[in-house]
Amino acid sequence: MNKVFDVKGLDLYYGQKQALKQIEFSIYEKKVTALIGPSGCGKSTFLRTLNRMNDLIDNCVIQGEIHYNHQQIYDKQTDVIGLRIKVGMVFQKPNPFPMSIYDNIVYGPRCQGIKNKAELDEIVKTSLEQAALWEEVKDRLRESALSLSGGQQQRLCIARALAMKPEVLLMDEPTSALDPIATSKIEDLILQLKQNYTIVIVTHNMQQAARISDYTAFFLLGEMVEYEETERLFSHPRDQRTEDYITGRFG
Amino acid sequence: MLNSRRKKDLILQSITYMASFISLFVLISILLFVFLNGFKLLNMDLITHNFESTSYIADLKDFTGPGVFNTNKDFDDHTYYSTKWGIALSDSENLMGHTIVLVTYVHEDSPFNDLRNKGVATQDLMLDVDYEIVRIAFDDGPSALSIQGAQNMIQVLDTKTTFRELEYSTSGGGIRGSIITTLYLIGLTLLIALPVGVGAALYLNEYAPKNKFTKALRNLIETLTGVPSIIYGLMGLALFVPITISLTKATGANLISGALTLSVILMPVIIRTTEESLKVVPDDYRHASLALGGNKTQTTFKIVLPSAFSGILTATLLAIGRIIGESAALVFAVGTAIKDHVSIYDKSTSLSVHIWAMMTDEPANIELSTTIAIIILVIVLSMNLSIKLISKRLLRKYGVTHE
């Protein structure tokens, strides 16, 4: 199996506090990898190292190596914008821009200098179709994205990320702000998307991880305790702490 | 115990009631004062007319003697007609509220159609409706003056067969020039202050490193808000007037230096208000933009700045209010000469300075000043409303804002 990300000895500090300790990790192509663990265990922080969103935090120091397609992304020469184009991200809270649905989708492509109207129209259609939103919004592309429901907004955010034609999608608890119906729609969507994209998803919801992921990593206090195929991790956890967590003894 | 607490509550409550009542009362009485005093002089002529009036001194040309000029026009009780001279006069007030004698009708064959300028330029003149007659002088006997009223003037005229000279003037006292100056100032100042102020706010909030220097800079800007405007006016006179004189065809205080001075006054306000609105733009937007491969500049100008739109609008409104209201700084930077032909390279007065000029007149013209105050209020109000309307339409396009 092809490794998309290869993480070696990753340490991350917020000032004096160490948030990630010696993470060793591989993410496989066209699989869904779930990161689970209690709050504050570093799973979101880890996710954000993959497209260098932690750069935005002032006192964040990163040591170790992350290879994306055999390239070290914490090199000085790394083209961060190029990386973020290839590694898209969906956030916890749906965060469409206060613009029309259309403008939301084409924001990324426009930033890359695509101006051709037909090309942009095509991007809007395909990405909305991929995000299973096209049928619901095709007649109101010019309306504000904020007029959509929470679940629709989140799918719009996914479509917006897909518009960049990424290889990897990072999702940071994409359903935690949504109701069960919207959540199941997003989960279906993730299962569809995995045919074409590598997906890394942070989730609080162990059932969700079990339902949609191929691999699951369990984080605790900045360490990656266990990383396994999802089925094996949930049925035969090797580590006592993993077992305690998935059986609901803490967290 | 319970009783004393209740008493305390009552006292504190009544203090707040009193305070709000007093402020409301003061506001309403100011408005009432302005409207009751100024309403009388308020009319379209005031707004559309020139301030300056031209005076002429004329005598009769090719005069053969008075005749009989009958007319079937109906005059009201306050208009007096002389059939001997074919002229109707009435008592009136000019735009500035001064008592005048106004020409209301001139018969087509009246000798007043055939006048000659007694001044240096010897052109032909004719008396027209709406001119003000200042005095008519005769060889035999005292002159008829406008302060004696129209009736007196007609009676005197009817006893005479000719006159030595006539002084009359076109109507003046309008504030058209000052309104135009004010609009120019608003436009020019916003043109300078908005880009610079918004740019500075963007720098402070988006780009500047969070260190002591930035903090000091921000404190300094805040301090500038409290500097009295007359000091800015002096700075405008000492700095901007010479600069504009050397760079443009201006020869003294001018509108450009005034706009520059106002811009400096407004900069802190605009920076503060814009920065506050930039602060409340959710970081979610910035992160989403960066995660989509937008760079810092694209994020700042395509996402953050439009989201802060309502704040920038508030800044603009505050700025317009301040521009219209400012007088002390403008006395130095633009001058106090009331002009009808406004040029940005020349001295001029805004409406506020016009009020100042009217109040320094001898005697102070309170009525006209309050009328201008009404016009200022109307301009501020209509600008506020129209900008809010525009913004509402823009915001509707994007749905709800983050506020």
The tens digit of pLDDT for each residue in A146-156 reads 889 988 999 99
- CA dist., res. B314 & res. B305, Å (int): 14
- What is the ipTM score, two decimals? 0.89
Domains of chain A plus CATH, in order, are 3-246 (3.40.50.300)
* Strands laid side by side in the A17-28 sheet: A17-28, A3-14, A60-68, A71-72
Mean pLDDT of B295-305: 91
Judging contacts by C-beta atoms under 8 Å, the chain A residues touching residue B402 are 98
Name the more confident of B136 and B401: B136
Task: Give yes or no for residue A41 having a pLDDT over 70.
Answer: yes
Q: Which domain holds residue B158?
A: 54-169
CA distance B206 to chain A (A): 12
User: Which of A72-76, A100-104, B247-251 reaches the highest mean pLDDT?
Assistant: A100-104
Rg (CA), chain B: 30
Both B130 and B206 in a single domain? no
What would the DSSP string read from start to end of A140-204?
-TTSBGGGS-HHHHHHHHHHHHHTT--SEEEEESTTTTS-HHHHHHHHHHHHHHTTTSEEEEE-S
Q: Does A84 touch chain B (CB under 8 A)?
A: yes
pLDDT at B121: 67
Closest residue in B to A57 (Cα–Cα)? B287
Mean pLDDT of B252-269: 92
For residue A225, the one-letter residue type is V
Q: How many domains does chain B have?
A: 2
Token pair for residue B273? 């208000």
Give the CATH number of the domain where residue B334 resides: 1.10.3720.10
Task: Give yes or no for residue B402 having a pLDDT over 50.
Answer: no
B141, B169, B197 — which closes off a domain? B169
Both B243 and B311 in a single domain? yes
CA distance B220 to chain A (A): 25
Of B288, B290, B400, the CB nearest to A146: B400
Task: Give yes or no for residue B399 having a pLDDT over 70.
Answer: no
CA distance A163 to chain B (A): 9
Mean pLDDT of chain B: 87
Token pair for residue B312? 């920038």
Q: Does A113 touch chain B (CB under 8 A)?
A: no
pLDDT at B202: 94
Mean pLDDT of B239-254: 89
Binned at pLDDT 50, 70 and 90, residue B197 comes out as: very high
Mean pLDDT of A166-178: 90
Binned at pLDDT 50, 70 and 90, residue B400 comes out as: very low
Binned at pLDDT 50, 70 and 90, residue B4 comes out as: confident
Q: Tokens 């603009």 map to which residue?
A: B316
Judging contacts by C-beta atoms under 8 Å, the chain B residues touching residue A95 are 282, 284-285, 287-288
Both B78 and B193 in a single domain? no
Give the pLDDT confidence of B184-194 residue by residue, as tens digits: 999 999 999 99
Does any domain span residue B257?
A: yes
Q: How many other CB atoms are there within 10 angstroms of residue A216's CB atom?
A: 27
Task: Give yes or no for residue B35 having a pLDDT over 80.
Answer: yes
Both B231 and B330 in a single domain? yes
CA distance B275 to chain A (A): 19
Give the pLDDT confidence of B43-76 residue by residue, as tens digits: 877 888 888 777 888 888 877 778 888 888 888 8
Does any domain span residue B9?
A: no
Judging contacts by C-beta atoms under 8 Å, the chain B residues touching residue A96 are 288
- CA dist., res. B304 & res. B286, Å (int): 7
Does any domain span residue B6?
A: no
B146, B169, B192 — which closes off a domain? B169
Does any domain span residue B152?
A: yes
Q: Does A111 touch chain B (CB under 8 A)?
A: yes
**Could A53 and B290 be called an inter-chain contact, meaning their C-beta atoms sit closer than 8 Å?**
yes
Both B196 and B333 in a single domain? yes
pLDDT at B263: 94
Both B164 and B180 in a single domain? no
pLDDT at B398: 58
Both B196 and B280 in a single domain? yes
CA distance B290 to chain A (A): 8
**Cβ proximity of B383 and B313 under 8 Å:** no
Both B116 and B260 in a single domain? no
- CA dist., res. B270 & res. B195, Å (int): 10
B127, B148, B169 — which closes off a domain? B169
**Cβ proximity of A164 and A157 under 8 Å:** no
Q: Does A192 touch chain B (CB under 8 A)?
A: no
Does any domain span residue B195?
A: yes
Both B333 and B391 in a single domain? yes
Is B139 in a helix, a strand, or coil?
coil
Q: Check residue A17 and give left, alpha or beta (phi > 0: left; psi -120 to 50: alpha).
A: beta
Q: Check residue A113 and give left, alpha or beta (phi > 0: left; psi -120 to 50: alpha).
A: left
Mutate to test the interface with B, among A83, A106, A111 (most CBs of B within 10 A): A111
pLDDT at B1: 63
Both B68 and B162 in a single domain? yes
Mean pLDDT of A195-205: 91
Both B254 and B389 in a single domain? yes
Binned at pLDDT 50, 70 and 90, residue A121 comes out as: very high
Binned at pLDDT 50, 70 and 90, residue A251 comes out as: low
Does any domain span residue B216?
A: yes
Both B213 and B235 in a single domain? yes
For residue B130, the one-letter residue type is D
Does any domain span residue B18?
A: no
Q: Does A112 touch chain B (CB under 8 A)?
A: yes
Residue B95: phi and psi, rounded to 5, are: -60, -25
